[in-house]
A and B are shown apart, each in its own frame.
Chain A
Amino acid sequence: MENRQKENRIITDGLSYRYPEAERDAVSDVALRVRAGEFVCILGHNGSGKSTLAKLFNALYVPTEGTVWVCGMDTKDDELVFDIRQNAGMVFQNPDNQIVATVVEEDVAFGLENNGVPPQEIRVRIDEALAAVGMSERAKKAPHMLSGGQKQRVAIAGVLAMRPSVIILDESTAMLDPSGRAEVMNTVRRLNREEGISIVLITHFMTEAAQADMIYVMDGGKIAMTGTPREVFSQIGRVRALGLDVPPMTALAETLGKAGLPVRPDVLTVEEMVEEVCRLQSKG
């Protein structure tokens, strides 16, 4: 058990959650884990329970049944709540509704101030965090002067300053334009690769999902599919039945396949598609 906890940042077991007064569980019997340094993506149509699951990871909600361990800490334990929230940082969907302070650097400081970190240490951590998301030169700016992508990077910096083990992003790119989305995704991927921070990404964009190490697809509060992006998206029929799309290149591969070209059905990215097309050309 001890060992399991060390290499896993989040473990859930038989996890269920029902909103007060609700008829049925919003999250039901979920067992999953997020390993150290892993990039996990959670997919699912609207109302499938993704946001509820995310809030269970951060001890914003406490399980109705089952358990969530964050870095070995049970979220049911009241005394550990703030340690859990420091370890499992959350970035939400609407960039305007999660920035608290009127100055960028002060917003980044918010979590640290809450945790009683001494001012000199806060200073150091803010500078680090803003540098890590590439927002150092905007430290003194007012948040409402920033673009959506920049606001989300500030929100990520605010979480990063807490030195989390895992960052949970709940549709954090949903309200951004394509360039803002790219900014945020690049930042997230870099933090994952370079700093070894585990990522839980909730998204409706399949191109983003294709970059994950592991995908969990939710349906009606349950986990309906699990696997690497290739494993999941190669089952096009099942994915569609769960109300989701497949990445554009996978869809293209399918179309080409139907047209009679022997393209691999599990193509995920543009690069892979280019490779595949070149392979076919050299053959024929």
Chain B
Amino acid sequence: MLNDITLGQYYPGNSPVHRMDPRCKLLLTVAYIVGVFLIGNLPGYLLALAFLWLVVRVSGIRFSYLLRGLKPLRFILVFTFILNVAFTQGQTVLFAVGFFRLTREALENAIYFSLRLVFLVMGTSVLTLTTSPVQLTDALEHLMHPLARFGFPAHELAMMMTIALRFIPTLLEEADKIQKAQMARGADFESGNLMARARAMIPLLVPLFVSSFRRANDLAMAMEARCYRGGEHRTRLRELRYTRLDFYALLCMIAFFVLIIAEGMLLG
């Protein structure tokens, strides 16, 4: 059960998208999502799709990989769609059954909203598929660094993320071990209703929790022994550097924005 969780769905590669500076990639992803939310008609979404498809082509990831990322979202998608259809006020009635009226505006709204969600997820998937968690952490730390002046714990947050990433496999492994040990003693994790299964997790989570505290204690000691003293005066092995690649990527994004704005003005 626990082995199914794939973490940080990084798809290693050496494409230009992979080689971009993670900071640039992160910022451009945010820009892309903002762009997608600005779009208000179907041709605009076709543009967004074309742009995404292009990026995916360059990155060497299979598009199906990206679509697979949508699968866990299907319920939320259906839910938002229905919610939008049901609760948007509209004028042009398409058809009506009893109390229910499907209006053109409601349908459009629902479609656009779902599309935005789809592009949001696919856009961030491109980021996480082409950027290792370590690079992402680095990018976040660097981008948040200016905020440190106002007391924002940029380094601490990045350190926490790194440690979380480092310990997740360890804890999963341990959970698996505890689960097997409990099962050997007759514990049942698989059958029963939701409540029963949730209750069955308690003998798994309690020892895991206790051991995490132990680990945290040990790790703190080990970090201190290795001269850890917070983010100040700290150097980094890997330095982030913007390259020409990032400049080209930025140009592409600007082109995308020009296109969707022009398209929005032309087609309203």
Contact = CB atoms under 8 A, between A and B. Distances in A.
B235 A116 contact: yes
A119 B229 contact: no
Contact of B239 (A98, A103, A116, A119): A119
A106 B234 CA distance: 14
Interface residues of B, number: 29
B219 A98 contact: yes
B187 interface: no
B177 interface: no
Interface of A: 55, 58, 60, 82, 85-86, 89-90, 92, 94, 96-103, 105-106, 109-119, 122-123, 126, 142-144, 158-159, 162
Contacts of A99: 166
Contacts of B225: 58, 60, 85, 89-90, 92
A178 to B, nearest CB: 21
Nearest to A100: B223
B237 A114 contact: no
Interface string B192-222: 0000000000000000000000110011011
A114 B222 contact: no
B228 interface: yes
A105 B237 contact: yes
B224 to A, nearest CB: 6
Interface of B: 133-134, 162-163, 165-166, 169-170, 173, 214-215, 218-219, 221-229, 233-239
Contacts of A98: 218-219, 222
Contact of B227 (A82, A92, A122): A82
A131 to B, nearest CB: 16
Contact of B215 (A97, A142, A143, A158): A97
Contact of B237 (A97, A126, A158): A126
Contacts of B165: 102
Nearest to B227: A114
Contacts of B170: 96, 144
Nearest to B233: A116
Contacts of B169: 142, 144
Nearest to B169: A144
Contacts of B219: 97-98, 100
Contacts of B235: 112-113, 116-119, 122
A240 B224 CA distance: 36
Given A82-B229, A92-B221, A113 B237 contact: yes
Contact of A102 (B166, B224, B229): B166
Contacts of B223: 100, 110
B173 to A, nearest CB: 7
Contacts of B218: 92, 94, 97-98
